[in-house]
Amino acid sequence: MYVTAAILSVLLALVSLAAGAPKALLKGDVSAGLQSHMGLGAGLVRFVGLAEVAAAVGLIVGLFWQPLGIAAAIGFAITMVGAVGFHAKAGDYADPATRGNAMAPFPLILLSVATAVTLGLAM
Q: Buried (b) or exposed (e) across 81-98, using 16+ Cβ within 10 A?
A: eebbebbeebebeeeeeb
Find, among 103, 113, 123, the residue nearest to 8 by Cα: 113
Q: Residues 57-79: pLDDT tens digits?
A: 999 999 999 999 999 999 999 99
What is the rounded distance in angstroms from the CA atom of residue 60 to the CA atom of residue 85? 27
Q: What separation, in Å, do the N-terminal and C-terminal C-alpha atoms of the chain show?
A: 9
CA 58 to chain centre: 12
Residues 6+ apart with CB under 8 A from 3: none
pTM for this structure? 0.91
Higher per-residue pLDDT: 90 or 10:
10
Positive or negative: CA dihedral 122, 107, 88, 38: positive
pLDDT at 18: 95
What is the CA angle 73-93-95, rounded to 5?
145
pLDDT at 98: 85
What is the CA angle 90-104-9, rounded to 5?
135
At 112, the pLDDT band (50, 70, 90 cuts) reads: very high
Compute the average pLDDT of residues 114-118.
96
User: What is the amino acid identity at position 117?
Assistant: V
Q: Residues 18-58: pLDDT tens digits?
A: 999 999 998 888 878 788 877 888 899 999 999 999 999 99
Compute the average pLDDT of residues 1-23.
95
